[in-house]
Amino acid sequence: MPEYTLRLRRYDPESGEAAYWEDHTVELEGHRSVLEGILKVKADEDGSIGIRCSCRAAICGSCGVRINGKPGLACHTHLEAAAKHGAGTGWNPPDEGQATPIIEVEPMGNMPVVKDLIVDMDAVHWKKVRRVTPWLINKEPIPEREYIVPHENMVDVTQTMACIQCGACVSDCLSMEVDPGFIGPAALAKAYRFVGDPRDAQQKERLVDLSEDPHGIYDCTHCFNCIDACPKGVAPMSQIMRLRRVASADYEIEDRNNGYRHEHAFVDNIRKNGLLHEADLLPDSYGGKFHPRAAPELISSLPVITKALVRRKVTPTGALLHKHRKEYKGLREYFDTIEKHEKRYELNLYISGYEDDAEGAETAPEVGVAGSSGQPSAPGADPHKSDPSEGGGV
Amino acid sequence: MPAHDVLIIGAGLAGQRAALAAASEGATVGVLSKVHPVRSHSVAAAGGINAALNPEDSWESHAYDTVKGSDFLGDQDAIEIMCREAPNELLHLEHIGVTFARNDSGHLGTRAFGGASAARTYYVADITGQAILHVLYEQLMKHHEQLDRYEEWFVTTLLRGDDGECVGCVARDIRHGNLEIFRAKNVILASGGAGQCFKPTTNALICTGDGIAQAYQIGAPLMDMEMIQYNPTTLAENGFLITEGARGEGAHLYNAAGERFMEKYAPNKLELASRDVVSRAEQTEINEGRGFPDGTIALDITKVPRKRVLEALREIVNIGRDFAGVDITREPIHIRPGCHYIMGGVKTDVDGRTPIEGLYAAGEVACVSVHGGNRLGANSLLDTLIFGRRSGEHAAHRARSIPLPEIPDSVLDDEQRKLDALVRRERTGRRVSEIREELGTTMNKYVAVFREDEGLNTALEVVKRLQEEAKTAYIDDQGKVFNQDVLAAIEMEYMLDCAECIVVAAEHRKESRGAQFRTDFPERNDAEWLKHIDLTRNGAGPKISYSEVTITKWQPEERKY
């Protein structure tokens, strides 16, 4: 059986000592998880290693850690896979005399460490969740039976329901590192769960709140870290972008953070120039060069602009005489394709893009009956009479 | 010292539902849990929740299916209550925000499930438990003014007053390591099952039977403890669950010869017979050499359209990919029966009351008994919610007429001394983890799908030896902050109490009914055994007594699927 060295970040708050690394070697099959490795060390060698864990199957969200610097669930990462990116691999030089692959495990970032691999989620993550009014505010009147809502809406918000609150996205949120007040990816994904829910009565109020908050939806910098980090495919950043699209396109909420205008300036800038004309973007975001709002912004940006000039990131000619390339091939087409659709395309975890009627027959030839709507009636081959399509179908 | 009208121990579905119900009745409520509430094992319930909500369905049909599923050991008065109240509970969940799947008309949609005569399982993809648990937690946050949450607190003992009533508990703040007395007019146990007594199991590492053992230790009777459900579809290596929803959506089971063997065992219901029947069928195939060489059966989900699988069974697509290296939309996955659920638990009435005044139990920790010898899939979520709510309401009412109990501080010193002694044990005994490992493998060997006298006696001997060894088992962590080691040692004692009761009851019931199949007594014997086995602590071991099975409408009959 292969051997792995688990290099664990240890911290005992009672010792008065700083955190340190501690190596343990385990013998386990490569397809076992990093959590199993840690639990083996805990069982056989040192019961004092602190790590939260429960389900072992990436459902409960307890064991969020950083493995080789990347956030994720310890139970959801194979030893073999982790070893490929550990110390002594790639550009990471091996330790002297290192025989087995080293897997580094440390607590998640952006949250205070309580002990070893355990962080204080309440101080950061849950506080932020509570910030977004995380419960349904019912549309009145509440029906006697269920709310009648389209299946697609429920599937849509189920993507954010799939969040297990593990904190992996919070751990590596770059915006939160710069602005600890940022509501952050997990909580904002949670916010979308209500904004996208047709049963909620206060979608607009929620969006105004999240747009106007300087730590709200316009505080995200699109770094994609949260999408990478999420073990459940929730894609928090995509949910934040959806909140923005609903806030700006559907509700036209002009926020004081200038998010709305910036987004529009951006689109117009590209439409006009083909390539981004940076020198125009800033003033345009504030209503144009001569808008009273723009002047203070331009002045306050002078140090940055000067620095950029000194470091030759921009040249005065380039900035002022930007080459307009609106004749760029295909540009028009992109705008047309996107803008002519009444409904926005949104990606969803639960919607695969596979069609069952035509192509589905190729992928799964023995499939039973397909419902008239294109939805399969699942146990088509099942002889007993409890066909679920009778009980409301799927 | 915190004091509440109603103190709830455990914050899974039963606990959170009880808390919300008690709070809405005006009680002051504390919810205490050894893990953050959304980590509770209810989160892993995948398939759905049963309710006869469709006009063409009826609660009687649901109740009959449940009675039949229980192999006529379930108490029919309790089953009637559960099935009657199910539709309203489901609508309540929908109203507070659970994102249940819809049908084409925008109404709630259903899927088929095992042992049911109609498709009455409501679901959120295959994360139903997670969706409900998270929505209830949203409500807990919403009602934070009426509800105090004690997240990551571990109960070391329940407390009884001078008249024998339950008056609260002692708990350790895991984060800081200090002990605290919780005074309460009522305590509701909602701390889940005891699956960790077995290895492998579908149950989370936290399912160590804490509540069952705590109640047992202060004298509350346990019931139906021999009834351990083996789920037909678990991964061989680690015991992870493949939801019954897969079969509900149309997946088939095959043996190594490619035979759809359920045709032989349950010609009408096939893969959707009740779980004990399917598990026994699989184990028979495996034992008689028709399984795969690794002792498994094939579950073929490729029967279900891929698009549907990716929408409705997303979680097991992930589990197959991440934990078995199989794309279940393309190829069969190998499974076998695995420990999943304990039908037995702390004996309660239909309001969650145990025979100890002021002590309630709800959810998997309890035995009402609505599941009897075998629980139907998607009835467990229902059980937690219905009886969680009923316990919460009843306890809130009871709180109105009684004063808060007084508890002397000396209780705390006693508990502290016990814990200190545990931490300071000499390193001469065994490691707690070794004992846990031996218990799990022993139980899974002798107290599984098929049982017989000799194996059960062997298991009992092992459990008794382990109980002795646990008294001197040592731990490594001497600290206060997040000392998981000391908690593991206490959990070990809880598990051993549960295991002892399971084995004693299994040995005692000399018949085959539901999940209990005795190869030495292969028939159901209504004349002698249509009764519950109750176990009460008596010195070192459990004392056995019986209680009647409540029969209202449905007389026992031969059980065929």
Convert the pLDDT of each residue in A14-44 to its tens digit: 999 999 999 999 999 999 999 999 999 999 9
Residue A358: is its pLDDT beyond 70? no
Name the band, by pLDDT with cuts 50, 70 and 90, for residue A77: very high
% pLDDT > 90, chain B = 94
DSSP H helical segments within B205-363, as ranges? 210-217, 245-248, 262-265, 275-287, 306-312, 314-323
What's the whole-number mean pLDDT along residues B231-249?
Answer: 92
Residues in chain B: 561
Q: Residue A365's pLDDT is what? A: 33
What's the whole-number mean pLDDT along residues B345-353?
Answer: 98
Residue B175: is its pLDDT beyond 70? yes
Residue B507: is its pLDDT beyond 70? yes
Which residue type does B408 have? P
Which residue type does B255 have? N
CA A53/CA A236 separation, integer angstroms:
23
Question: At which residue do the structure tokens 């990131």 appear?
Answer: A313
Of A245-249, A368-372, B123-127, B320-324, the one with minimum mean pLDDT is A368-372
Q: Residue A157's closest chain B neighbor by CA?
A: B99
Q: Residue B531's pLDDT is what? A: 98
**Higher per-residue confidence, B359 vs B310:** B359
% pLDDT > 70, chain B = 100
Chain segment B129-149, per-residue pLDDT in tens: 999 999 999 999 999 999 999
> Would the CB atoms of B238 and A56 count as touching at under 8 Å?
yes
Interface test with B, best of A56, A117, A362 (most B CBs within 10 A): A56
Short-list A170, A89, A172, A88, CA closest to A129? A170
Residues in chain A: 394
Helix and strand element counts for chain A (H, E):
16, 7
Q: Residue A91's pLDDT is what? A: 61
Residue A368: is its pLDDT beyond 90? no
Short-list A216, A168, A209, A162, CA closest to A188? A216
Please report the ipTM that was assigned to this predicted complex.
0.96
Q: What is the 3-state secondary structure (H, E, C) of B297-341?
A: EEEEHHHCCHHHHHHHCHHHHHHHHHHCCCCCCCCCEEEEEEEEE
Q: Residue A380's closest chain B neighbor by CA?
A: B250
Question: Is-contact B21 B92, C-beta < 8 A?
Answer: no
What's the whole-number mean pLDDT along residues A321-344?
Answer: 78
> Would the CB atoms of A392 and B54 count as touching at under 8 Å?
yes
Residue A312: is its pLDDT beyond 90? no
Give me the domains of chain A, ranges plus CATH numbers: 3-115 (3.10.20.30), 122-256+369-390 (1.10.1060.10), 259-340 (no CATH)
Give the SS3 label for residue B237. coil
> Would the CB atoms of B130 and A155 count as touching at under 8 Å?
no
Q: Residue A373's closest chain B neighbor by CA?
A: B104
Q: What is the 3-state secondary structure (H, E, C) of A85-113?
A: CCECCCCCCCCCCCCCCEEEEECCCCCCE
Short-list B422, B486, B421, CA closest to A47? B486
Question: At which residue do the structure tokens 């539709």 appear?
Answer: B87
> Would the CB atoms of B322 and A47 count as touching at under 8 Å?
no
CA A233/CA A348 separation, integer angstroms:
9
Chain segment B373-416, per-residue pLDDT in tens: 999 999 999 999 999 999 999 999 999 999 999 999 999 999 99
Name the band, by pLDDT with cuts 50, 70 and 90, for residue B315: confident
Q: Residue A90's pLDDT is what? A: 61
CA A26/CA A134 separation, integer angstroms:
42
Token output for B487: 């908690």
Question: Is-contact B483 B416, C-beta < 8 A?
Answer: no
The burial class, CB within 10 Å (0-12 / 13-18 / 19+), for B519 is exposed
What's the whole-number average pLDDT of chain B? 96
Query: Radius of gyration of chain B from Cα atoms?
Result: 22
**B102 DSSP β-pair partners:** B108
CA B11/CA B117 separation, integer angstroms:
32
> Would the CB atoms of A54 and B206 count as touching at under 8 Å?
yes
List phi, psi (to 5°) of B102: -110, 165
Question: Is-contact B27 B396, C-beta < 8 A?
Answer: yes
Interface test with B, best of A32, A194, A384, A385 (most B CBs within 10 A): A384
Residue A385: is its pLDDT beyond 80? no
Residue A118: is its pLDDT beyond 70? yes
Question: At which residue do the structure tokens 């095992």 appear?
Answer: B114
List phi, psi (to 5°) of A122: -65, -40
Residue A136: is its pLDDT beyond 70? yes
What's the whole-number mean pLDDT along residues A50-62?
Answer: 96
Nearest by CB to residue A150, choosing from B102, B307, B432, is: B102
What's the whole-number mean pLDDT along residues B171-184?
Answer: 97
List phi, psi (to 5°) of B463: -60, -40
Q: What is the 3-state secondary structure (H, E, C) of B93-147?
A: HHHHCCCCCECCCCCECEECCCCCCCCCEECCCCCHHHHHHHHHHHHHHHCCCCE
For residue B481, the distance in angstroms to the closest alpha carbon of chain A comes to 7
Residues 6+ apart with CB under 8 A from A338: none
**A201 DSSP β-pair partners:** none
Name the band, by pLDDT with cuts 50, 70 and 90, for residue B200: very high
What's the whole-number average pLDDT of chain A? 85
> Would the CB atoms of A380 and B250 count as touching at under 8 Å?
yes
Residue B180: is its pLDDT beyond 50? yes
Residue A96: is its pLDDT beyond 90? no
Q: Torsion-angle region of residue A184: left (phi > 0), alpha (psi -120 to 50) or beta?
A: left
Question: At which residue do the structure tokens 């003033």 appear?
Answer: A283
DSSP H helical segments within A254-386, as ranges? 259-273, 278-285, 294-310, 316-320, 331-339, 359-363
Residues 6+ apart with CB under 8 A from A384: B268, B269, B270, B272
Of A151-160, A288-297, B203-212, B393-402, the one with minimum mean pLDDT is A288-297
For residue A180, the distance in angstroms to the closest alpha carbon of chain B comes to 22
Chain segment A199-248, per-residue pLDDT in tens: 999 999 999 999 999 999 999 999 999 999 999 999 999 999 999 999 99
Name the band, by pLDDT with cuts 50, 70 and 90, for residue A377: very low
Chain segment A242-273, per-residue pLDDT in tens: 999 999 989 999 999 989 999 999 999 888 88
Q: Residue B533's pLDDT is what? A: 98
Name the band, by pLDDT with cuts 50, 70 and 90, for residue A197: very high
Token output for B310: 């990716």
Looking only at the bridges linking them, the beta strands covering A102-106 and A3-10 are: parallel
Token output for B347: 């004996």
